[in-house]
Structure formats: structure tokens, C-alpha cells
Structure 1
Amino acid sequence: MTVLHLADEGEAADLAAFLSRLLHYDRSAAVRLQAAGTALAVFGRPPSFEVLAIRTARLAKPYENGLDVTLDVTVSAGELLEAVDESAATAVVPGAVTGPPWAGVLPPRGGWRPEPGLPGPDALRAMVGAAVAEFRARTEELGPEGRTRAELDRIGRDIWSRAVGDTHLPVRAVHAAQSLGFLRAAGELALFSSGVWLRLRTPYGSIAVRRAGLGGLDVSVSR
């Protein structure tokens, strides 16, 4: 049994909240865990946003029962959530699962450089609110026969694929950040790029997205 000792109850609560939000969008969600020393990274992919969400957590100490150096495993998000003990600030790592395709293609660990042009937090939240309102208005204008899945998807792609400000970041990445609790009132935001990847970093987590979408596998596979 592998036990993660999180730095405090707050870290445990934030991890549980992140997992709960992922499960809201996909009840069978998987997450990939990577850790070394006292740093833990949790990767997830909420399906409706086509982005990777990354939540980091501080560990109080390395692992028990044999994993002294690193941890790299894909597990059920639901099972991990059930294994989080917030009062004890611990989590028992559940058994590994066969990872979805995205779990083998993660953003690079290094080589990130700052990207200019990212609007401030208030402007980003307003942008998401306007996009949600536009989507609702345009779909409500459709008649019963026109409200097909294909048409809803087309409207969604038109709105959520738009660029944020003067960047290449799609609006859907900001929407994902807000929906997952990353876009809170406090804290500075920053945008970085590395190869084909963009990463929106907040104090509460990061959203990574490929410039041309996340469907292809023409990047290095992380093992």
C-alpha cells in the first residue's frame, strides 16, 4: 500500500475538490499521478474542454512502503477521492488502471517561456461569462429541428476556439480554469509556451492545451 502524506489538511482538501470537479464532468475519470520528493502533480482531462488540467500538491514526506524516489501511475479519480483523508492529510494510492490515450502524452517538464498578451483575471472571467451567454443565446434561437448535436457542437467550437486577447490560448482553456476552481479572485495568472503546448498557470492549478488541439499524438510520449 502506497500512502501519500500531504503537507496539511488544506492540501488534502484542495486535492479532493479538484478530483470532485473532474468527476463532475466524467464519472469514470482517470488521473495520472507523478511525484518526486515532496512534490505531487495530478493530471486530468475533463472531456468537454479538450484540455489537460494539472493540480499540484505539497507532500509532507516521501512515500511509505517502497516508493522512495518517484511515483508515476494512472488511477481512478473516484477511487483516489475516496482514499483522501482530509483530517489526516493522507491519501492511499489506489491500484493502477489502464490509462486513457491522453495520459501517455503530457506537456514537457521544461523549456517553458513566458508569452505576452494575457488579459487580467477580471477580464478573463468576463470573457468566459460573455461566451457562456452567447452560447446560450445562439442555441436558444435554434428551432427544435435545428437543435441537433452537430449544430450545438458547431456553435461550441466557434465560440470556445476563439483566441484570448492577443494570445493563441483558446477561450475553452480559460473556461476550464474557471470551472475547475483555478480562476479565483486572488492570485496572478501567467501564460507560457513550450513547443506546441500552451500553459495557463494560476496559483491553484494549470491548464495545458496544444495549439492545434489535443487530439494528435505528434509529441513525445511521457513514460
Structure 2
Amino acid sequence: MTVLHLADEGEAADLAAFLSRLIHYDRSAAVRLQAAGTALAVFGRPPSFEVLAIRAVRLAKPYEKGLEVTLDVTVSAGELLESVDESAATAAVPQAVTGPPWAGVLPPRGGWRAEPGLPAPDALRAMIGAAVAEFRSRTQELAPEDRTRAELDRIGREIWSRTVGDTSLPVRVAHAAQSLGFLRSEAPVALFSSGAWLRLRTPYGSVAVRRSGLGALDVSVR
């Protein structure tokens, strides 16, 4: 069994928290793991937001027992969470699963450039709070017979597809970052683009989304 030796207990706790949040949105969630050297990237897709979440994890050493230098596998998020030992700062890689379609299409590794127009972190969090409050207010105002899933989804799409500041980043990306624990009060936030992709990055994780209308440009199938 492949054992990941995480850099410290804090890295193990953050990985466990990320996996727990993914499972909150999808009990059968899968994650794709990619590692090389002492860096591990964990990719997940919370279905409520239609984005790709990426949590970077520092490893103390590549692998146990001299296994291969690189790792690329899709596994059950729940099984991976169960294997995390925070006190020992380790995690055992579960058996591979048949990955969902998103796991085969990841953002490009390079070519990212900084994008201007992102509000300050406090303003970004305030924007998310206002959007959540608007969604609750508008849905609560609906008559019972009008409170259908289709109508709730329509209101949600209208609100969460709005863009952030002077960027083309949908508000739902920032909402996902906050819901996944990436958008913390002390954390700087930056926006990057590469081809068809936008990526909101914080020290605790990133959220990526494909910009609409760009077809299949710059897709990395790995």
C-alpha cells in the first residue's frame, strides 16, 4: 500500500478538512491525486458549484518503500479521509476507482498569468455574503407552489453567474472557495488565467473554472 508522509500534522488536518467538505456535498465524491517529489495536488469537484477545487499538500518525503517517483490516481474521497492519521501525519492511498468525467480534464500545469480587477479579500467576502442573503430572501418570498427545484435553480444561476469586480470570474467560484475553507480572513487572494481557465488562488487552496464560450481550448487531459 502506498503511504503518503505529509509534512506535518497541520497538513494532515487541512487535507482531512478538505476531504470532509467535499463529502458534505457528495457522499460518493472522488478525488484525483497527482504527486511528484514532495508536492501533492488533490483535485475534487463539489457538484453544487460546478467548479474544480485544488488543495496542495506538502509531503515530508515522496513515498514509502521506494515506490515510483510520481503518483497519478483517482480514489474515493471517503476512503482517503478514513486513512488520514493526523497524529502520524500520514495517509494511505486507497484502491483506484473509475474516475468521473471531470477527473480526466484538468487545468493546464503552466501558462498562468495574473488577472487584474479582483476586489480586496474583505470586499470579496462581503460580496459572497450579499449574494447568499439575496438568494435566501428571493427564495423565501416565493409562494409555496412556485418554490420548485427549477425556480430555485434559475434564481441560483442568475445570482452565482454574476461576475466578481472587474473580472470575468463567476461569483460561484468565490462562494466555493469560501465554502471549502480556502477564503479565510487573513489569506491573500489572487486571480490567474490560462487559456480557457480561470483560477482563484489562496494559500489554502484554489478553485478553477472554465470560461464559457471558449469550446475545448487549452484542456489538459492527463
- Tell me the distance in 2 between the aligned counterparts of 1:169 and 1:85: 36
* Residue identity matched to 1:55: R
Q: Could you tell me which residue of structure 2 aligns to residue 220 of structure 1?
A: 219
Q: Could you tell me which residue of structure 2 aligns to residue 5 of structure 1?
A: 5
Offset at 1:145? 1.0
The count of residues paired between Structure 1 and Structure 2 equals 222
Offset at 1:65? 3.8
For normalisation by structure 1, the TM-score amounts to: 0.96
- Tell me the distance in 2 between the aligned counterparts of 1:200 and 1:129: 18
Q: Could you tell me which residue of structure 1 aligns to residue 148 of structure 2?
A: 148
- Tell me the distance in 1 between the aligned counterparts of 2:104 and 2:37: 22
Moved over 4 A (4+): 216-219
Are the structure 2 counterparts of residues 110 and 219 from structure 1 closer, same or farther at C-alpha, using a change threshold of 3 Å?
closer
- Tell me the distance in 2 between the aligned counterparts of 1:104 and 1:113: 23
Are the structure 2 counterparts of residues 185 and 79 from structure 1 closer, same or farther at C-alpha, using a change threshold of 3 Å?
same
Offset at 1:97? 0.2
- Tell me the distance in 2 between the aligned counterparts of 1:137 and 1:169: 24
Are the structure 2 counterparts of residues 66 and 213 from structure 1 closer, same or farther at C-alpha, using a change threshold of 3 Å?
farther
Are the structure 2 counterparts of residues 91 and 73 from structure 1 closer, same or farther at C-alpha, using a change threshold of 3 Å?
same
Offset at 1:67? 2.8
Deviations 1:49-91 (A, max 9, x none): 0000000010000112453310000000000000000000000
Offset at 1:218? 5.5
8 A contact 1:160–1:172 mirrored in 2: yes
Are the structure 2 counterparts of residues 101 and 219 from structure 1 closer, same or farther at C-alpha, using a change threshold of 3 Å?
farther
SS in 2 for 1:47: coil
Q: Could you tell me which residue of structure 2 aligns to residue 103 of structure 1?
A: 103
Are the structure 2 counterparts of residues 213 and 150 from structure 1 closer, same or farther at C-alpha, using a change threshold of 3 Å?
farther
Q: Could you tell me which residue of structure 1 aligns to residue 25 of structure 2?
A: 25
Q: Could you tell me which residue of structure 1 aligns to residue 211 of structure 2?
A: 211
Q: How does 1:146-185 map to 2 (within 5 A)?
A: 146-185=146-185
8 A contact 1:40–1:58 mirrored in 2: yes
SS in 1 for 2:94: coil
* Residue identity matched to 1:49: F
**Quick check: 1:61 aligned with 2:61?**
yes
Which sections of structure 1, spanning at least 5 residues, go unmatched? none
Are the structure 2 counterparts of residues 66 and 222 from structure 1 closer, same or farther at C-alpha, using a change threshold of 3 Å?
farther
- Tell me the distance in 1 between the aligned counterparts of 2:125 and 2:111: 28
RMSD: 1.4
Q: How does 1:32-71 map to 2 (within 5 A)?
A: 32-71=32-71
Identity of aligned residues (%): 85
Q: How does 1:116-135 map to 2 (within 5 A)?
A: 116-135=116-135
- Tell me the distance in 2 between the aligned counterparts of 1:68 and 1:204: 27
Which sections of structure 2, spanning at least 5 residues, go unmatched? none
SS in 2 for 1:87: coil
- Tell me the distance in 2 between the aligned counterparts of 1:142 and 1:212: 30
8 A contact 2:195–2:217 mirrored in 1: no
SS in 2 for 1:145: helix
Q: Could you tell me which residue of structure 2 aligns to residue 89 of structure 1?
A: 89
